[in-house]
Amino acid sequence: MIKLDHVTKTYKNGTIALDDVSLEIEKGEFVFLVGSSGSGKTTFLRLLLREELPDRGTIWEAGRDIVNLPKWRVPYLRRNLGCVFQDFRLLQNKTVFENVAFALEVIGRPKSVIESQVPQVLDLVGLSHKRDNLPTELSGGEQQRVAIARAFVNRPLILLADEPTGNLDPKISEGIMSLLDRINKTGTTVVMATHDKALVDRMRLRVIELDRGHLIRDQQRGVYGIETDSGAQR
Amino acid sequence: MASFSQYVVKETTTNLWRNRVTTVAAIFTVMVSLFLVGGSLILGQGASNAEIKWQQGTLVTVWMAPNATSQEINAIRSQLDSFPYVHDCYYQTQLQDYEEAKHLLTATEFSVLKPEAIPSSIRCIPNQPQDAQLVIKKFTGQPGVLIPTAPTQALKNQQRTIAIAQWSVLIIASVLLVSSAVLILNTIRMAIFARKREVAVMKLVGATNWFIRVPFIFEGLLQGLIGSLMAGGLLWAGEWFWHSKSVNWAPDTLGSQMLLTSWQLVWCELVVIFLGMVIGSIGSAIAIRRFLDV
Ligand SMILES: Nc1ncnc2c1ncn2[C@@H]1O[C@H](COP(=O)(O)OP(=O)(O)O)[C@@H](O)[C@H]1O
Ligand SMILES: [Mg+2]
């Protein structure tokens, strides 16, 4: 589903954010991406979203070489990807329903599809009763659920999450985690960058660790990190 | 597609309303500049209408010396008849010219004139007004000829005045046209900034570049269009006012000679509306290129 082959990413200011990273993620896998701040997790996800291009190496996603994908095809690639961020990125002037509907609206889905899909996905994230509320009227956990609903409403093949629980307290994070787990169970590949040690240790899923741009660990049924790795933990 | 057009209409009206003050400023500038452009078009069209009317009425006159012999007069007449640039030549005797002078001059002036001191004349219609110059060149200094004349200088002066007026209006108009494009650019820029977060989400969920751009393009186009329609309305009202006044004017005044036909007016209006849409598109195209990173 996702394959990186000797991928290196250098930013314009000379920072090497990813250095010669190769890995493969199968369809339906759930992968934690861990590493201290600045280790390159966000860069990794941005490459998968094709918000950035690597200077070397190739990236395949859903059978396509996305590095050499022509620019006009990028939107069509992104329709197969859902993404969720630490800061939710909801539109403040739209209701819960409108925020989720927006994702379908702007890719030209007809009203009938919107009217059947949005309530379904709101039901999945448990927010049917708040469909007409504005984001400001929701808790952080609820806002993240809306963001997940928006990412998932178009049934993407891959869901990318960049520290989705970074702003939430542990109890709420558990809820978000189990929601992502449920989404993964529908066959969606999930890649989640996180700092949340408790979560990672409890789930015992595949863990990929980055350190200053290097892939230093790729472990099935892994844990957050070796206990001496203090910088990453809070 | 129905949902797309609904979406564009919804987004455009939201944007226009959000930036209503700058939008109104942009629309009014478009209106004023296109009103001037249209005015200059109408002026130009009017000038060429007047020129055609003048051409139809222009005569070239070869005044014969009062003491010219009839052989000399006949020689000039037959020369003119064989001349390909003129047609419909006729001879006015001294007595006929004397009668004409009676209408043209005041009574006191006329009282000192004597028929035998008045030159007789041969008058022809030139095929083209500039052909009158050929006649003047050809007959100046010929035996028996006093002086050949044509009212070309007066015509030239009037045309010059109109042309100067037309160009000044056009220069002012083009400065204003540029400013209105800049104002439209600015409203689109503000709309883009106001929707930064939305645009970011749109890109993330896979909206195509055109889908993101179209509401902004449409917004600029609409501002240009509304401004040009208002300018068109003003021009139409102005023409109508001119027409209604001109019924009291003599047909040989410049004002009535310049009057536009309905088709000419429609043509000017179409040019104005087209220009309005061009300005709107240019303004939004530049704003999109510079500020919308898609
Ligand atoms: N747009 C950018 N321009 C320059 N350097 C960047 C940019 N984004 C990230 N970096 C640098 O790249 C490295 C990796 O950053 P990032 O991928 O955000 O790490 P993480 O998400 O693991 O904290 C860091 O050193 C960061 O400072
Ligand atoms: Mg990060």
Ligand in nearest proximity to the CA of A39: 1
Nearest-CA residue for atom 7 of ligand 1: A11
Q: What is the DSSP letter of A71?
A: G
Tell me how far the alpha carbon of residue A46 is from its chain's centroid: 10
Say whether both B170 and B142 belong to one domain: no
| Burial zone of B84 (CB within 10 Å; 0-12 exposed, 13-18 middle, 19+ buried) | exposed
Helical H segments across A17-88, by residue range? 41-48, 74-78
Residue numbers in B near A109 (CB within 8 A): 3
Count of domains observed in chain B:
2
Helical H segments across B58-151, by residue range? 70-82, 94-104, 107-111, 131-139
Local structure of B43: helix, strand or coil = helix
For ligand 1, whether the C-beta of A57 sits within 6 Å is: no
- B3, B205, B209 member nearest A103 (Cβ): B205
B73 Cα to the center of ligand 2, angstroms: 105
Q: Which of A216, A198, A200 is nearest to A208 (CA)?
A: A216
A50-57 contacts: CB < 8 A, separation 24 or more? A50/A74, A50/A77, A50/A78, A52/A9, A54/A7, A54/A8, A54/A9, A54/A18, A55/A8, A55/A9, A55/A10, A56/A6, A56/A7, A56/A8, A56/A20, A57/A4, A57/A5, A57/A6, A57/A7, A57/A8, A57/A20, A57/A21, A57/A22
For ligand 1, whether the C-beta of A43 sits within 6 Å is: yes
Alpha-carbon distance of A175 to A7, in angstroms, equals: 34
Does A105 contact chain B (CB < 8 Å)? yes
Reported as a single tens digit per residue, the pLDDT across A176-200 is: 999 999 999 999 999 999 989 999 9
Does B4 contact chain A (CB < 8 Å)? yes
Say whether both B89 and B178 belong to one domain: no
Say whether both B209 and B273 belong to one domain: yes
Q: Which of B131, B150, B169 is the last residue of a domain?
A: B150
Say whether both B253 and B231 belong to one domain: yes
Name the token pair of B158: 């009037």
Alpha-carbon distance of B73 to B66, in angstroms, equals: 11
Say whether both B133 and B174 belong to one domain: no
The structure tokens 């960049």 sit at: A162
Does B7 contact chain A (CB < 8 Å)? yes
Nearest-CA residue for atom 4 of ligand 1: A11
The structure tokens 């849409």 sit at: B277
Model pTM above 0.90: no
Residue ranges in chain A modelled with pLDDT below 70: 226-234
Tell me how far the alpha carbon of residue B250 is from its chain's centroid: 21
Residue numbers in B near A72 (CB within 8 A): 208-209
Say whether both B101 and B167 belong to one domain: no
A231 Cα to the center of ligand 2, angstroms: 15
Name the token pair of B42: 């109408």
Q: Which of B133, B150, B167 is the last residue of a domain?
A: B150
The answer to whether the CB atoms of B201 and A103 lie below 8 A apart is yes
Say whether both B101 and B172 belong to one domain: no
Q: Which of B121, B150, B179 is the last residue of a domain?
A: B150
Alpha-carbon distance of B293 to B130, in angstroms, equals: 59
Pocket test residue of A12, A18, A36, A43 for ligand 1, highest count of atoms within 8 A of CB: A43
For ligand 1, whether the C-beta of A156 sits within 6 Å is: no
The structure tokens 């309303």 sit at: B17
The residue type at A111: K
Ligand 1 atom closest to Cα of A36?
22
Does A87 contact chain B (CB < 8 Å)? no
Which ipTM was obtained for this model?
0.90
**Directed axis angle between helix B152-194 and helix B209-246, to 10°?**
150
Alpha-carbon distance of B63 to B120, in angstroms, equals: 6
| Most B-contacting residue of A48, A83, A84, A105 (CB-CB within 10 A), to test interface | A105
Say whether both B77 and B16 belong to one domain: no
For residue A233, the model assigns a pLDDT of 43
* Radius of gyration for the alpha carbons in chain A, expressed in angstroms and rounded: 18
Q: Which of B205, B269, B100 is nearest to A102 (CA)?
A: B205
| Burial zone of B75 (CB within 10 Å; 0-12 exposed, 13-18 middle, 19+ buried) | middle
Beta strand A214-219 with A206-211 is antiparallel
Size of interface A-B (CB pairs under 8 A): 55
Spell out the residues 6+ positions from residue A129 whose beta carbon is closer than 8 angstroms to its own. none
Name the token pair of A102: 């927006």
A103 Cα to the center of ligand 2, angstroms: 24
The answer to whether the CB atoms of A106 and B205 lie below 8 A apart is yes
Does A62 contact chain B (CB < 8 Å)? no
Ligand in nearest proximity to the CA of A41: 1
| Most A-contacting residue of B205, B214, B216 (CB-CB within 10 A), to test interface | B205
Triad B8, B9, B14: Cα angle to 5°: 100
Alpha-carbon distance of A43 to B277, in angstroms, equals: 43
How many C-beta neighbours within 10 Å does residue A194 have?
Answer: 23
- Asked if residue B59 lies in contact with residue B123, where contact means CB atoms within 8 angstroms, the answer is yes
| Burial zone of B157 (CB within 10 Å; 0-12 exposed, 13-18 middle, 19+ buried) | exposed
Local structure of A8: helix, strand or coil = strand
Say whether both B232 and B98 belong to one domain: no
Name the token pair of A160: 């990318």
Domain region containing B96 = 59-150
Residue A195 dihedral angles phi and psi, to the nearest 5°? -110, 0
Spell out the residues 6+ positions from residue A100 whose beta carbon is closer than 8 angstroms to its own. A118, A121, A122, A146, A149, A150, A153
For residue B167, the model assigns a pLDDT of 86
Local structure of B188: helix, strand or coil = helix
Residue ranges in chain B modelled with pLDDT below 70: 1-2, 54-58, 129, 151-155, 250-252, 294
Nearest-CA residue for atom 20 of ligand 1: A38
Ligand 1 atom closest to Cα of A44?
17
For residue A232, the model assigns a pLDDT of 46
Say whether both B47 and B67 belong to one domain: no
For ligand 1, whether the C-beta of A11 sits within 6 Å is: yes
B8: nearest CA in chain A? A106
For ligand 1, whether the C-beta of A42 sits within 6 Å is: yes
Spell out the residues 6+ positions from residue B198 whose beta carbon is closer than 8 angstroms to its own. A91, A102
B5: nearest CA in chain A? A108
B204: nearest CA in chain A? A78
Say whether both B142 and B273 belong to one domain: no
For ligand 1, whether the C-beta of A35 sits within 6 Å is: yes
Say whether both B133 and B99 belong to one domain: yes
